[in-house]
C-alpha cells in the first residue's frame, strides 16, 4: 500500500463514525478482510479498500476466492469494485490455487511505469512455502496480472508489508528465519523485485505483522508477537533510517483494561493510515481473528497519535534518543476529528 504522508486534504470529503467492535458498515458483506490503499493519480485522490475474500472450508481453514477492491471517499460508504485478482480453481500447482494461502495484499503506485503493484504473502496450507507474490495492473480497481512468487534472495517471507517513502523508493518488510526477525529491503525502480541490500532488524524478537508510517522524518513501526491466531502485545518501534537500527519503544496501547492492552485490544496490526491535515494523527488498522471460524474474522480501527513534549526525539548525554510516544487509544465508538472534514 502506498502511504503518502503529504496527501492534500482539500481533495477529500471525509467524515466517519466507527464502531470498533462491530464496524457494522464494513462488515455488511461476509467473509472478507480489509486492507486500505492510498492512490494518487493526477487530480484523482481516493481511499480504496482491498479485501481478501475467503470461502468457508473448515473453522481454521478457508479457501481463496481472490483479492477484492472496495472504494470510498469517506471510509464509511463503500463501493464494491469487484475481485481484482482471482484465485485459480483447477491448477493445484498454481500459487493462487484456492487451497493455498494468500494474505496481507498491499498495493503501491509506481510513477515510473504507471502501474499499480500488489505484493502479498503467498503460502501453502502448511505455511512452508513462505514467499511473496507480485501482481500488476493499470488501475487500482484491476484486473491485476499475477507475475509469480519468490523468496526474497532465498529468505522465508511470511507476514509482510510494503512502504513507499517520500522520495518514491519503496521497501518490502517481512517476517523471516522462522519468524525470529524482520527483514527490510528496497524494491527495484519498477517495484517488481527486491534489491540485494537486505537488513535484519529486531533480531531474535519474534515479531510479525509490521505496519509502518513516517512522521517528521522519523520512521515508526507497529509489530505483533508470534502467537498464531491468538492476540498478543503490540510493540512500537522507531528509527532515523528505514534500514535501521530500530529501537523498541514499548506497548503503544492506551485505554481499556490491562488484558485489552496486553492483547492489542484483541487484534493484530496490519496498516496505519495517515490523516492528512492533522499532523501526528493516524488510524491504526488491525485484524481481529476468530480462530474458531476464520471466515468470520473482523477488524478494529482506532486512533493513533504520535506526540511528545517537543514533538521530536530528545537526545540525552549518554547517546540515545527518547522518541515521541506512539499511542493507540481504545474507544468502543469514535469519530474522526471534525477539523478533518473537508467541503468542496
pLDDT at residue 319 greater than cutoff 60: no
State pLDDT tens for residues 64-99: 999 999 898 877 788 999 999 999 999 999 999 999
Cβ atoms within 10 Å, residue 177: 14
**Domains of the chain and CATH, by start:** 9-340 (2.115.10.20)
pLDDT at 25: 38
Q: 143 phi and psi, to 5 degrees?
A: -75, 150
Q: Contact, 283 vs 49, CB < 8 A?
A: no
- Report which of residues 142 and 313 the model is more confident about: 142
pLDDT at 240: 95
User: CA-CA distance, 67 to 242, in Å (whole number)?
Assistant: 28
pLDDT at 37: 43
User: CA-CA distance, 264 to 266, in Å (whole number)?
Assistant: 5
Pseudo-torsion of CA 13, 19, 20, 26, nearest 10°? -70
State pLDDT tens for residues 191-200: 999 999 999 9
CA distances from 150 to 121, 182, 276 (A): 10, 17, 35
pLDDT class of 127 with cuts at 50, 70, 90 = very high
State pLDDT tens for residues 206-226: 999 999 999 999 999 999 999
pLDDT at 340: 63
pLDDT at residue 34 greater than cutoff 70: no
Mean pLDDT of the chain: 81
Pseudo-torsion of CA 233, 234, 236, 237, nearest 10°? 90
User: CA-CA distance, 167 to 162, in Å (whole number)?
Assistant: 15
- Report which of residues 320 and 337 the model is more confident about: 337
User: CA-CA distance, 62 to 57, in Å (whole number)?
Assistant: 5
pLDDT at 321: 60
Query: What are the grid coordinates assigned to 66, written together?
Result: 481472490
Note the pTM of the prediction, 2 decimals. Answer: 0.81
State pLDDT tens for residues 179-192: 999 999 999 999 99
Q: Contact, 67 vs 50, CB < 8 A?
A: yes
pLDDT at 2: 34
- Report which of residues 341 and 259 the model is more confident about: 259
- Report which of residues 55 and 322 the model is more confident about: 322
User: CA-CA distance, 268 to 230, in Å (whole number)?
Assistant: 9
Q: Contact, 192 vs 149, CB < 8 A?
A: no
pLDDT class of 325 with cuts at 50, 70, 90 = confident
User: CA-CA distance, 320 to 313, in Å (whole number)?
Assistant: 9
The CA-CA-CA angle for residues 293, 231, 326, to 5°, reads 135
State pLDDT tens for residues 231-284: 999 999 999 999 999 999 999 999 999 999 999 999 999 999 998 888 889 999
Amino acid at each position: 500500500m502506498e502511504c503518502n504522508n503529504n496527501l492534500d486534504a482539500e481533495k477529500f470529503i471525509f467524515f466517519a463514525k466507527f464502531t470498533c467492535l462491530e464496524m457494522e458498515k464494513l462488515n455488511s458483506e461476509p467473509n472478507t478482510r480489509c486492507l486500505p490503499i492510498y492512490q494518487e493519480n493526477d487530480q484523482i485522490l481516493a481511499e480504496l479498500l482491498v479485501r481478501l475474500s475467503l470461502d468457508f472450508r473448515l473453522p481454521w481453514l478457508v479457501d481463496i476466492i481472490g483479492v477484492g477492491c472496495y472504494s470510498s471517499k469517506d471510509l464509511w460508504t463503500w463501493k464494491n469494485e469487484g475481485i481484482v485478482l482471482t484465485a485459480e480453481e483447477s491448477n493445484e500447482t498454481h500459487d493462487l490455487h484456492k487451497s493455498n494461502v494468500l494474505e496481507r495484499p498491499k498495493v503501491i503506485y509506481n510513477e515510473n511505469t504507471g502501474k499499480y503493484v500488489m505484493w502479498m504473502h503467498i503460502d501453502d496450507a502448511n505455511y512452508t512455502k513462505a514467499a511473496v507474490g507480485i501482481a500488476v495492473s493499470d488501475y487500482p480497481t484491476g484486473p491485476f496480472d499475477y507475475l509469480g512468487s519468490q523468496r526474497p534472495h532465498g529468505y522465508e517471507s511470511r507476514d509482510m508489508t510494503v512502504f513507499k517513502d517520500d522520495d518514491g523508493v519503496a521497501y518490502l518488510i517481512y517476517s523471516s528465519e522462522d519468524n525470529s526477525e524482520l527483514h527490510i529491503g528496497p524494491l527495484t525502480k519498477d517495484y517488481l523485485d527486491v534489491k540485494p541490500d537486505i537488513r535484519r532488524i529486531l533480531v531474535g524478537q519474534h515479531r510479525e505483522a509490521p505496519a509502518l508510517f513516517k512522521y517528521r522524518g522519523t520512521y515508526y513501526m507497529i509489530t505483533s508477537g508470534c502467537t498464531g491466531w491468538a492476540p498478543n502485545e503490540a510493540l512500537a518501534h522507531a528509527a532515523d533510517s528505514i534500514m535501521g537500527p530500530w529501537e523498541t519503544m514499548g506497548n503503544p496501547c492506551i485505554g481499556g483494561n490491562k488484558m485489552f492492552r496486553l492483547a492489542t485490544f484483541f487484534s493484530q496490526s496490519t496498516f496505519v493510515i495517515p490523516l492528512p491535515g492533522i499532523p501526528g494523527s493516524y488510524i491504526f488498522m488491525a485484524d481481529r481473528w476468530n480462530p474458531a471460524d476464520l471466515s468470520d474474522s473482523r477488524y478494529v480501527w482506532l486512533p493513533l497519535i504520535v506526540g511528545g513534549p517537543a514533538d521530536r526525539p530528545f537526545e540525552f548525554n549518554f547517546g540515545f534518543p527518547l522518541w515521541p510516544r506512539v499511542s493507540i487509544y481504545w474507544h468502543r465508538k469514535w469519530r474522526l476529528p471534525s477539523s478533518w472534514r473537508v467541503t468542496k
